[in-house]
Structure 1
Amino acid sequence: MKTRTIERTRLVPHTVDGQTEMVLDRETIEVPAPPRDWDQAVRVAVTIGAALLVTVSLTWTTASIGALLAMSVVAVVAYGAAVAFDAAWIMCMGVEWLLRSDPDRATLPRRVGHAALAVSMGAVFAHGYLFTGQWIVGAVGALVSTLAKGGWTIAMRAHTRPLDPLTQQWVAKRRAAVNGQLALIPIRRELQRGEALVEAEQRSLAALADSGSADPDQSGQSADGSDPDPQPTATGPMTIKDAVRTAVDSGIREPDRVLAYVRKVADANAREDTVARYIRLAG
């Protein structure tokens, strides 16, 4: 029986000069080695082989179609555009891989991938036939992409875990519930931003209404025209700093009165320490 060596640690009591402490004791032991998982090894090898086929196909298609397109545009642009032909069906295969447990949603990327593969094969065939005059060269060149896609399709089947119809419905319902919660996250953020904007607009309108509501009727004032609590004239929406400066310039220096004025014409939620700091700066 095959074995493997492992190191095991455990806490043991250790006494020195009558004082006992729990310390780590390390020991090396031999344990039975599990049998080699050949299924997993083959699965990994198939996946690596499929990835290599896709890489070879991408390189071959880019070189072939790039040479074809270079007849009409500069080489850099031609080879850059040539990457799109194989990249399209490779991207579709990636989406199909992500949706491998949802057959209904995986149908669309699979079909689009087949269409993109056909376009790529046609372009490679056109390059081979145009440059050699022999259709067999173009056909063989076009089969490279087919082999790569076939290899990756086989690799995906090796990793896919088929579900029975009832379990598939259960997964679909659970996924729909989670997706609904995820979809509501940006919606809630959008609503919160909108509500904040509406609230800010309402505060601004209230400040404008308060600052522009000077009483045109002076009949209620005393005959000598004196005002026991004079307030500076508000000229429009202000920042907290501007409101403090206006109050100080008008002779109001008591922190409570300045704070009340700032909350009236600038920001109803102005903090007392902020107003006090601006008072010190203005003084």
Structure 2
Amino acid sequence: MGQGPQETRVPGVRYRKVARTREVTTVLDGKPSTREVPYEAWEPVPPREWDELILRGVTVLAITVTVIAVAGTTAGVGGLLSRMVPAPVAYAMGAVFTSAWMACLGIEWLNRLNPERAKLARVGGWLALGVSMGAVVAYGVTLGQPVAGGVGACIDLLSKGLWALLVGYHAVPLDDGVAHWVTEREQELAGRELLGRRLLRLNRRAAFYRAVGGWEFDAVTAILDSAEQQRSLAGTDSPDSLDTANSEPVRTVSAQASTPAPPIVPPVSGPVPGPSGEIVPDSADTPGREAGQAASPTSLPIAATVRDVLQAEPGISNAELTERVAAVHGHQKNLAETVRRTRTRIEKPKKRNAS
């Protein structure tokens, strides 16, 4: 193995030999060829991190003590409870005593940067530890060995104490401003996560009901869509909103109909009928108005015109009624159908609602 380039060593720094490679290019007849050549080099060795080694050792020791404490407490409490319940159940119940304060310890670790939130888990952990130690002491008393029971109970206390020291070491105290900033970021992220899950659940339920809801779900959807459309039209100042708000009566959607009825054609300009049913002459018929000039716009809906004509002449035919309406509002697309539906709605409101 060849030697690498000359390297300068700093006095007082430890080095170790490592194997490296470098590229060497050979050119023959104008054609280069590159290959990797291994060589030995010296690289500095970082100083030993004694703090890191000590922290790892303490963590391993705490884990070992905790395993022993779990085994001892489970055996003691299980032996105490085995006089009342079967042995497997008794020892399973014994494991709960140590698991309780360990769970509280985990919650305290997660909230180590927020002392207020970690306080409840810390207090609960010490209370669970006291109950566990009391159970072990009680088992020793029942065997006539109170001292042995007390010594066995101290294993849980030592394990809990080691973990309390580790959590306190990693719990970095934060300034009030920094703590407030962290809390706001956590609240923002938690709110987004909660809203996302809630919307996901609602969308899944909506997809399920669309698939299996049947005509009941379709009827409710039609009612809600119709109401939303009327609210959106009522929020504008156009003649469309006036026609929908004034002339459209309350209707009951039948179970067989899954779509709302087509909307009434909006009104246009024209003369207005009088209260007795006679048609007031259009302004185009008045002197001084040129022929063919467009009539002035009117905000009167078609339904009002149909209602006034029917009050004056109840037996009028649909064709004549359509002509009367056309004289007021002008000829529109599907005007005859609109007049027919409006007349049916006015003359037979109970029958239409009953359907």
Task: Please confirm whether the aligned pair reaches a TM-score higher than 0.5, indicating the same fold.
Answer: yes
Q: Does 1:147 align with 2:171?
A: no
Gaps of 5+ in 2: 1-12, 220-254, 259-355
Alignment-derived partner of residue 61 in structure 2: 49
Distance 1:23 1:188 in 2: 60
Range with bigger deviation, 35-44 or 3-12? 3-12
Give 3-state SS (helix, strand or coil) of 1:194's partner. Answer: helix
Q: Does 1:97 align with 2:126?
A: no
Note closer, same or farther for the CA distance 1:20–1:114 as it changes in structure 2 (3 Å cut).
same
**Which structure is higher in RCO with an 8 Å CA cutoff and minimum separation 6?**
1
8 Å CA contact retained: 1:15, 1:21: yes
Q: Does 1:114 align with 2:126?
A: yes
8 Å CA contact retained: 1:85, 1:120: yes
Alignment-derived partner of residue 177 in structure 1: 188
Deviations 1:12-65 (A, max 9, x none): 655466433666555432111111000111111111111111111101101111
Distance 1:102 1:22 in 2: 59
- Which of the pair has more CA radius of gyration? 2
Note closer, same or farther for the CA distance 1:21–1:164 as it changes in structure 2 (3 Å cut).
farther
Note closer, same or farther for the CA distance 1:153–1:199 as it changes in structure 2 (3 Å cut).
same
Distance 2:31 2:181 in 1: 60
Alignment-derived partner of residue 124 in structure 1: 136
Identity of aligned residues (%): 36
Alignment-derived partner of residue 162 in structure 1: 173
Greater fraction helix: 1
Distance 2:207 2:22 in 1: 57
Number of aligned positions between the proteins: 210
Alignment-derived partner of residue 200 in structure 2: 189
Give 3-state SS (helix, strand or coil) of 2:143's partner. Answer: helix
Distance 1:195 1:100 in 2: 41
8 Å CA contact retained: 1:43, 1:158: no
Gaps of 5+ in 1: 212-283
Range with bigger deviation, 38-47 or 155-164? 155-164
Distance 1:4 1:31 in 2: 6
Candidates 72, 78, 82, aligned match of 2:94: 82
8 Å CA contact retained: 2:16, 2:42: yes
Q: Does 1:135 align with 2:146?
A: yes
Distance 1:161 1:6 in 2: 39
